[in-house]
Amino acid sequence: MSARRVVITGLEVLAPGGVGAKNFWSLLSEGRTATRGITFFDPTPFRSRVAAEIDFDPYEHGLTPQEVRRMDRAAQFAVVAARGAVADSGIEFAELDPYRTGVTIGSAVGATMGLDEEYRVVSDGGRLALVDHAYAAPHLYDHLVPSSFAAEVARAIGAEGPATVVSTGCTSGIDSVGYAAELIREGAVDIMVAGSSDAPISPITMACFDAIKATTPRHDDPAHASRPFDGTRNGFVLGEGAAVFVLEELDSARRRGAHIYAEIAGYATRSNAYHMTGLRPDGAEMAEAIRVALDEARLPGEAVDYINAHGSGTKQNDRHETAAFKRSLGAHAGKLGDSGWVVTVRGVGFRLGHA
């Protein structure tokens, strides 16, 4: 039996400068940027003091006081984005078999903001070496265990199938979508709500990236501080946000007349097992992931019209990705335009348009 084809029929995005998918698309298509000096805390002690923050009021997006009290900011993003994606899909989730409906949420750093804040409380601002647990929030355990993100989304939409958090660093979101697509292909589920959420703009996260000099110290021009593949690049800008998709089987989507955004035609993931933070300059592992994804999609490299790179703005990553694209796509890598029907994102192929 051939594998089932998987399509995207709903989506929602929460991003700096563009809360909502339409607003986010406008931000991108108009070439605007949303990076600015950090406002969440005093960034003066840090090497990098710019970030991409979201102007987000959870109550304006329908969260209750209890949900806001219970959930870390990243979990709030995930729930709001999931509800938006479900609404966009037009699926009546209450009519679905809950055991055939699942959730995968990717997160690179989990509930960083919640944990950072709670540590300040239980340590009395860092003055206590032995923290006082009596001051901890009652839902601190949910901040510690990232699986709470998927559980919160599953609860919000009424899903009782697989509920999984994928945490693979910067590829967490795309790996979450790839994993969800595989579950539908193999027939384990019919509907998946899949995406990613992170809210890492906290002192501890800034300190970690400062230590390895991965974030930019360009404070004089925050709007243009992020400049990957540029000769003057000197690190990335830390940001927050969430994006969630509704995935379903193609025939099901056609039967109900759904709007189909894209087909997930191929997916692959690889690990270089090379260094904790370093990347091999030849891009071999990433090139292999791209090759396998294209093979699964049954598409030649020449069919790729657009590459959405990680683009961290570090010399090491930019060289790694450039080498990977040239290694996997050959001379075609230098011919890519900015409009097309196949997107390759870290080894994941999306066939755009109606299937």
Same domain? For 60 and 131 the reply is yes
Regarding whether 279 and 254 lie in a shared domain, the answer is no
pLDDT at residue number 355: 33
The answer to the question of residue 295 being in a domain is yes
Q: Are residues 101 and 126 in the same domain?
A: yes
Domain termination residue (choose one: 265, 294, 313): 265
Within this chain, do residues 163 and 140 fall inside the same structural domain, yes or no?
Answer: yes
Higher pLDDT, 192 or 310: 192
Q: Would 117 be classed as within a structural domain?
A: yes
Q: Is 214 inside any structural domain?
A: yes
Domain-embedded: residue 192: yes
- Using pLDDT thresholds of 50, 70 and 90, give the confidence band for residue 70: very high
Asked, for residue 1, whether it belongs to a domain, the answer is no
What are the residue numbers of the active site?
170, 310, 354
User: Given this model, what pLDDT does residue 349 score?
Assistant: 38
In a domain, 233, yes or no: yes
**pLDDT at 354 exceeding the cut of 60:** no
Q: Are residues 295 and 232 in the same domain?
A: no
> Which residues are CB-neighbours of 282 under 8 A, at least 6 positions away?
323, 327
CATH no. for residue 32? 3.40.47.10
Q: Which two tokens stand for residue 216?
A: 């930019």
Q: Is residue 146's pLDDT more than 90?
A: no
* Residue finishing a domain among 265, 284, 300: 265
Q: Above 70 in pLDDT, residue 343? A: no
Dihedral sign from CA coordinates of 299, 300, 302, 306 = positive
Judgement on whether residues 258 and 298 belong to the same structural domain of the protein:
no
Q: Is 171 domain-assigned?
A: yes
Claim to verify: residue 177 and residue 285 sit in the same structural domain: no
Residues 216 and 183 in one domain: yes
Are 225 and 344 contained in the same domain? no
Cα–Cα dist 189/159, whole Å: 11
Cβ atoms of residues 135 and 75 within 8 Å: no
Last residue of a domain, one of 210, 237, 265: 265
For residue 273, name the pLDDT band (cuts at 50, 70, 90): confident
> Do 286 and 175 share a domain, yes or no?
no
Q: What is the pLDDT of residues 172-200, one digit of tens each?
A: 999 999 999 999 999 999 999 999 999 99
Residue 350's pLDDT is 35
Q: Which domain, by its residues, includes 210?
A: 6-265
Using pLDDT thresholds of 50, 70 and 90, give the confidence band for residue 3: confident
Confidence of residue 18 (pLDDT cuts 50, 70, 90): confident
- Of 1-15, 86-100, 173-187, 189-203, the range with the lowest mean pLDDT is 1-15
CB atoms within 10 A of CB 261: 20
Q: Is the pLDDT of residue 2 over 70?
A: no
Are 234 and 215 part of one and the same domain?
Answer: yes
Query: Mean pLDDT across the stretch 131-138?
Result: 92
Check whether residue 47 and residue 126 sit in a common domain: yes
**pLDDT single digits (tens) 44-66:** 999 999 999 999 999 999 999 99
CB contact at 8 A, 318 and 311: yes
Tokens of 327: 């290694």
Specify the number of domains making up the chain.
2
pTM of the model: 0.91
Q: Does residue 155 sit within a domain?
A: yes
